Every structure is written in C-alpha cells, then in structure tokens.
Amino acid sequence: MAAAERTARLSAVRHVLYLVLNEGYAASGGDRLVDVSLTDEAVRLCRLLRERVPEDDETAGLLALALLTTARTPARTDASGDLVRLADQDRALWDRERIAEGVALLEEALPRGRVGRFQLEASIAAVHADAASAADTDWQQVAVLYAMLDRVAPSPAVTLSRAVAVGMSEGPLAGLALTDPLLEDRSMRRHHRLPAVRAHLLEMAGRREEAALAYATAAALATSIPEQRYLNSRASSSSRPTPVSVARRSRARDTT
C-alpha cells in the first residue's frame, strides 16, 4: 500500500472512531446523555489502533482524547440522569487512572513533531482534568489551544467552543463576538449548540431576558431529552428576576 493511501485510510479510521466517541459521550437523541457501550467501544478500538500504529502521534492523541473525556463520565449526570455541566461536576468522581494514561500519551506524542487536531483536543481536555475545581481552570490556555485548533481544523463547532473559552478568559462580550458570524451560517440554523452557547454568554453578561430566549430556542432544537431538560431549566432560571430586581420592584411599589 502506498504511503499516501495508508495515511488517507488511517485518517478515515480515526475520524470514524471520533464520531463513535462523540455519539457515545453526548448522544444526539434519546433519553440518555451518555451511551457507555459506545464510549467503551471507542476506547477499545482506539487502543487497538494505537497498537497497530504506535508511531502515529494523531492516533495517540485520539486515544488520549477518548481517555480524558470518558474519565468524566461518572460525574456528567445526576441520579435522575440529568445533565450536570462541567462547572458543577464532582471531580472526585473523575477516573484518575484514565486521566493519567491520557496525559502520559500526550507527554509522549506532543514533543515529537507536528501537532494535529486530536492532540490539540486532548490537550484541552487535559487542561480541564488538571484543574482541581472549575474556578482553577486555566481558561486563557484553553482559549489559546482552541485558537490553534481553529487554524488546524476550523469548523463551527470549534468556533463555538473557542467562544466559550474566550468568554471565560476575556469576558462574555468577546465570546459573543466570535459567535456572531455563525448566525448567518445556514448549517447552524437548526443546531441547538449555537443558541445554547450564546445563552450561556448572554447570561454571563447579565442579559438575562435574551439568555432565557436563547436557552428556550436551544431546547426546542435539541433532540437529546437530557439536554432539553437542562436547557429548559436554564431558560426558566434565567427568566426569573434576580433578588436585586425583586427588591427594586418592592421599593417602587412602596413609593406609589
């Protein structure tokens, strides 16, 4: 087999495994957020591929990504199966053995040469894994890594994730600015992640009514029941007046 054909086939295999991993990690539909049978199979196949091509750093990156992301599985849902966002997860539940293995793979692969998409995505997951709490997350480093990923493998999904990181490191308005061009992207008009990300950033910016509307829009577009429940919950909480707003209304009534 010619080298170019082998490279193309290996890239195609990695892409399929990545799709299997993503579908298992965040199911596109149904009443479960995570399909462990798919994520476990993705990890198994990534290990097998890594054994076959130990010299391929992007395959190492894909295995590292699979390990680092699935390490968070026990904390991603509550007892009712509802989504628990990253900031609220109990990190004591994360699988530290998988995290250590994923980080070791990265430390071996990254210094050797060209850094590709999967190595960058795994590096982002490693930054999150390294943070003892959500408040300790190095969002500036995450934003830099997403900027690198945006150059290596640009896509609307990468832009959205980068917008969150920029919003956390530079402020929500900077994150929102990154999402503005996607509002004109026809491929994103039926995708719930765009309004969901914008809702999060709007909420951070204190624009609660706009955030509630965006959360409701995202919930209507989502096909995963746990994500629908989460987004509707956020829409409801964003639409409720803050204690300050309630106090202001009370004072207004007292003076009329």
Residue 168 sits in a domain whose CATH number is 1.25.40
Banded pLDDT at 5 (limits 50, 70, 90): confident
Q: Ramachandran region of residue 84, left (φ > 0), alpha (ψ -120 to 50) or beta?
A: beta
Question: What are the φ and ψ backbone dihedral angles of 148, each rounded to 5 degrees?
Answer: -65, -45
- The per-residue pLDDT of the chain, averaged, comes to 92
pTM listed for this prediction: 0.90
Final residue before a domain boundary, out of 79, 107, 137: 137
Which residues, at least 6 apart from 51, have a Cβ–Cβ distance to it below 8 Å?
Answer: none
- Interval 192-220 mean pLDDT: 97
The number of domains in the chain is 2
Token pair for 251: 């004072």
SS3 207: coil
The secondary structure of 156-203 as a DSSP string is HHHHHHHHHHHHHHH-HHHHHHHHGGGGG-GGGTT-THHHHHHHHHHH
Q: Identify which of 3-12, 145-154, 184-193 has the greatest average pLDDT.
A: 145-154
Banded pLDDT at 153 (limits 50, 70, 90): very high
Q: What is the pLDDT of residues 27-86, one digit of tens each?
A: 988 999 999 999 999 999 999 999 999 999 999 999 999 999 999 999 999 999 999 999
> What range defines the domain where residue 29 resides?
1-137
Measured between alpha carbons, how far apart are the two ends of the chain, in Å? 84
Beta bridge partners of 30: 224
248: pLDDT strictly greater than 50: no
Domain co-membership, 130 together with 186 = no
Closest CA to 132 of 91, 103, 89: 91
Domain co-membership, 95 together with 156 = no
CA–chain centroid gap for 91, Å, is 16
Domain co-membership, 44 together with 164 = no
253: pLDDT strictly greater than 70: no
Closest CA to 212 of 187, 242, 191: 242
| Percent of the chain with pLDDT strictly greater than 70 | 94
243: pLDDT strictly greater than 80: no
Final residue before a domain boundary, out of 137, 172, 192: 137
171: pLDDT strictly greater than 80: yes
Res 3: pLDDT: 78
Domain co-membership, 9 together with 87 = yes
- Interval 197-211 mean pLDDT: 97
Banded pLDDT at 16 (limits 50, 70, 90): very high
User: How far is the C-alpha of 30 from the C-alpha of 97, rounded, in Å?
Assistant: 30
User: How far is the C-alpha of 191 from the C-alpha of 218, rounded, in Å?
Assistant: 8
Domain co-membership, 32 together with 61 = yes
Within-domain flag for 127: yes
Banded pLDDT at 241 (limits 50, 70, 90): low
Range from 149-163, 219-233, 238-252 carrying the lowest mean pLDDT: 238-252
| Residue with more model confidence, 152 or 253 | 152
Within-domain flag for 144: no
Q: What angle do CA 158, 213, 124 make, to 5 degrees?
A: 20
SS3 224: strand
250: pLDDT strictly greater than 50: no
Domain co-membership, 13 together with 70 = yes
Q: At what angle do helices 36-52 and 57-70 cross, to 10 degrees?
A: 160
Res 2: pLDDT: 80
Banded pLDDT at 176 (limits 50, 70, 90): very high
Domain co-membership, 17 together with 132 = yes
